Homo-oligomer: A and B are copies of this chain.
Amino acid sequence: MVGAQARVSSSLRRAAARAFSSSTSPFFRGIHVFQCPDVVGIVAKLSECIASKGGNIHCVDVFVPENKRIFYSRTEFSFDPSRWPRHVLESDFQKLAKHFGAERSIVRVPDLDLRYKIAVLASKQDHCLVDLLHRWQDQRLPVDINCIISNHPRAPNTHVIRFLERHGIPFHCLPTGPGKKREEEILELVEDTDFLVLARYMQILSGGFLQAYGKDIINIHHGLLPSFKGGNPSRQAFEAGVKLIGATSHFVTEELDAGPIIEQMVERVSHKDNLTSFVMKSENLEKQCLSQAIKSYCELRVIPYESRKTVVF
């Protein structure tokens, strides 16, 4: 059973297991993401830092947009923690961040660090929530799920409720209504999370909530943004006579359905499709699109860029 109390010990157990196997494979994998004003020599300094501690770079993605002087990078490397302890690694990168005036410098060591803690918000539509839970169960979603919050109740004998009970994941039903967003209670429940996932959560989170929470929120919109913002995009698409429908996962900002897009997926429709099959195809796309976005995010591949875009390494 995975519950809140097991997370730390799980992480420690993994670290211990790694330590014991150190004779065969002492190297841990590290991921570093960096964003700073572009100048000459950033890659040189970053890679020199890693090499000087015996780290070996496997993979580097660097991106400097045309006509902008902003540098983005994502580096994967392996290192020997006995030679480069985690806290030293952390401060070495902090020094570089300070040196370059970086807006963003994040390093993760998946085998040592705690997994990302998330909460998932849902409303009546279950498909995205269930798909995430199944992937999580299959260990294809590398997060810890603190809790599920829904503004729509679910009976005790439903698949979702039984699943959550079996896995020790709290379910909080917070019905909303006009002027009753329950945001204070939500904030309290999600305080200890690293990011939030809105899995077809149909309430609009206020700017106040976004500011108070302060961390990233990933949403799935069941339409191909910027087409069909707002409600019932499947119906909007159906009535617009489009031949392609899609889903969009994006960061949540104050403006509805307008935050930086992380991933989009499409599927063909024709005159043979009715509103029901539009919705079914859309649900299939939403599940894949949302989980792909979360996966990329957890692997530190997603960096918001300018006000509307993302770099997705």
Binding site for B on A (CB under 8 A): 38-44, 47-48, 50-52, 54-66, 73, 127, 130, 134, 137-138, 140, 159, 224-228, 239-244, 246, 260-264, 266, 270-272, 274, 280, 284, 288, 305-306, 308-312
Report A176 CB to chain B, min CB distance, Å.
26
Complex partner residue of A60 from B39, B62, B239, CB under 8 angstroms: B62
Q: CB-CB < 8 A to A44: which residues of B?
A: 44, 47-48, 50-52
Q: Please tell me if the beta carbons of B271 and A65 are within 8 angstroms of each other in the complex.
A: yes
Q: Please tell me if the beta carbons of A60 and B61 are within 8 angstroms of each other in the complex.
A: yes
Report A29 CB to chain B, min CB distance, Å.
11
Q: Please tell me if the beta carbons of B38 and A271 are within 8 angstroms of each other in the complex.
A: no
Report A158 CB to chain B, min CB distance, Å.
11
Looking at chain A's contact residues, is the secondary structure mostly helix, strand, loop, or mixed? Answer: mixed
Q: Please tell me if the beta carbons of B57 and A51 are within 8 angstroms of each other in the complex.
A: no
Report A275 CB to chain B, min CB distance, Å.
8
Q: Please tell me if the beta carbons of B246 and A225 are within 8 angstroms of each other in the complex.
A: no
Q: CB-CB < 8 A to A310: which residues of B?
A: 241, 271
Q: CB-CB < 8 A to A57: which residues of B?
A: 42-43, 62, 64
Report A113 CB to chain B, min CB distance, Å.
21
A40 to B80, CA, bound (A): 12
Residue in A60, A62, A243, A284 with the greatest tally of chain B CB atoms within 10 Å: A243
Q: CB-CB < 8 A to A242: which residues of B?
A: 225-226, 261, 264
Report A209 CB to chain B, min CB distance, Å.
23
A304 to B228, CA, bound (A): 22
Q: Please tell me if the beta carbons of B308 and A240 are within 8 angstroms of each other in the complex.
A: yes
A226 to B238, CA, bound (A): 12
A13 to B56, CA, bound (A): 44
A-B pairs with beta carbons under 8 Å apart, 27 shown:
A39-B56, A41-B48, A43-B47, A43-B57, A44-B47, A44-B52, A56-B64, A58-B63, A58-B64, A59-B62, A59-B63, A59-B64, A60-B73, A63-B272, A65-B274, A137-B159, A225-B227, A226-B228, A226-B240, A226-B242, A227-B227, A239-B308, A241-B260, A243-B312, A271-B305, A271-B311, A284-B288
